[in-house]
Amino acid sequence: MDCIFCKIVHKEIPLENIAYEDDDVVVFKDHKPSAPVHYLSVPKEHIQSIMHLEENHKAIISKIIFAAKKVAKDLELKGYKLVFNVGREGGQVIDHLHLHLLGGWTKQEEIDHLPN
């Protein structure tokens, strides 16, 4: 399967900006940031999208949220947005599930504007 995020999480493509990694999850910097701080929390298992979740994926969804929370804490973010784009009509471009961690804004009008 030709999936760019599978290649990234399995290190077939070199990646410098890894903020967190364990056996199940990688959190890395988005290469076209939509916010001053923009990371993607990605399961190593290929799951297409939230629409494709099954009962046995409950643990991995929890893990990508906790990984994003840890990175946000390490970066000392005082607030942030966690976003899933779901399906083409939901703005999803990469068909490997990922949680956007967005933050680092300083002005209210930037905070109110949800990227993507």
**CA nearest to 84, candidates 99, 96, 65, 68:** 99
Q: Which residue has the tokens 């083409």?
A: 88
Q: Report the nearest approach of ligand AMP to the CB of residue 37 (Å).
A: 13
**Which residues touch 31 (CB under 8 Å, ≥6 apart)?**
none
> In this chain, which of 37, 42, 72, 92 binds ligand AMP, going by CB under 6 A?
92
Asked if residue 14 binds ligand AMP (CB under 6 A), the reply is no
**CA nearest to 23, candidates 53, 48, 3, 44:** 44
Indicate if 57 belongs to the active site: no
> In this chain, which of 1, 31, 73, 79 binds ligand AMP, going by CB under 6 A?
31
Asked if residue 78 binds ligand AMP (CB under 6 A), the reply is no
| Alpha carbons 54 and 51: distance in angstroms, whole number | 9
Asked if residue 85 binds ligand AMP (CB under 6 A), the reply is yes
* Closer to ligand AMP by Cβ: residue 1 or 93: 93
- Which DSSP string do the residues of 47-75 spell out, in sequence order? ---GGG--GGGHHHHHHHHHHHHHHHHHT
93 to 112: interface string for Zn ion, x by CB under 5 A: ---x----------------
Q: Report the nearest approach of Zn ion to the CB of residue 6 (Å).
A: 3
Q: What φ, ψ does residue 16 adopt, rounded to 5°?
A: -90, -35
Q: Which residues bind Zn ion (CB under 5 A)?
A: 3, 5-6, 46, 96
